Amino acid sequence: MIRRYLLDTGIAQDFQEDRNGVRDRAIAERKLGHRVGICVAVLGELWSGVECSAYERSLNGTRCPPLDSL
């Protein structure tokens, strides 16, 4: 039976940063034929985090503005 794993934001960040063995586990599950992914909401949260980080760096640590002002 093929299983599908949907990663939440925190676990997706662990996968992205190769923390806590998440990436190795996901790779192992994929090798067994299982599917691993994220939903659009998690993608948006990850993207928003990247945007805020870039914005903060460009303003020397100023807080990220509200999303409606971007």
Model's pTM, two decimal places? Answer: 0.66
Q: What is the pLDDT of residue 70?
A: 46
Q: For the segment 16-29, what is each residue's pLDDT rounded down to a tens digit?
A: 889 999 999 999 99
CA proximity to 46, closest of 70, 20, 10 = 10
What's the rounded Cα separation, in Å, for the pair 1 and 26?
17
Find all residues with CB under 8 Å of 36, minimum gap 6, and list them.
4, 5, 7, 26, 29, 30
Banded model confidence at residue 49, pLDDT cuts 50, 70, 90: confident
Q: Tell whether the model's pLDDT for residue 52 goes beyond 80.
A: no
